[in-house]
């Protein structure tokens, strides 16, 4: 049985640093390795958040049909494996992780055994269709 412990109020750490720590603790509780932060994946996540806020959508694929695979290729990240989690309207990293834990698909992404790297982004402004802030996490395993 997996015992999940989510902290209460923010520890004062930057939200993305806090989310990174929480995700790694979550993975460690499931006997999975920690994920290393990757700048290319951070940029992929940040660009997607900006696009969603600017263009008024909340989805893994943009209105032009581009999805994570294309965004990774544009950034030059050659991936053997990739996954993405999105969240909106959660004020803290702990709330985001709790929401992802409660969603089978998001939970599965966080528990990808072969994932080795992570990129994270938070965008303070949502759009007319999505509450803010917007959170995006990209997991990957480079080729």
Q: Tens place of pLDDT for every residue, the chain, 143 residues?
A: 344 444 433 334 599 999 999 999 999 999 999 999 999 999 999 999 999 999 989 999 999 999 999 999 999 999 999 999 999 999 999 999 999 999 999 999 999 999 999 999 999 886 777 789 999 999 999 99
pLDDT of residue 58: 92
- Cα separation, 137 vs 122, in Å, equals 9
- Reported pTM: 0.89
Nearest CA to 24 out of 122, 16, 99 is that of: 16
| pLDDT at residue 11, rounded to an integer | 36
């Amino acid at each position: 049985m997996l015992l999940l412990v989510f902290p209460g109020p923010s520890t004062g750490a930057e939200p993305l640093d806090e989310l990174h720590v929480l995700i790694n603790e979550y993975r460690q509780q499931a006997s999975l390795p920690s994920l290393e932060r990757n700048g290319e994946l951070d940029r992929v996540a940040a660009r997607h958040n900006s696009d969603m806020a600017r263009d008024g959508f909340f989805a893994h694929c943009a209105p032009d049909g581009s999805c994570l695979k294309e965004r990774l290729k544009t950034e030059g990240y050659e991936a053997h494996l990739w996954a993405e989690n999105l969240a909106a309207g959660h004020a803290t990293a702990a709330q985001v992780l709790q929401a992802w834990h409660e969603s089978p698909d998001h939970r599965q992404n966080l528990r990808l055994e072969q994932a080795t790297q992570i990129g994270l982004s938070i965008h303070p402004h949502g759009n007319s269709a999505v509450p803010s802030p917007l959170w995006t996490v990209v997991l990957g395993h480079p080729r």
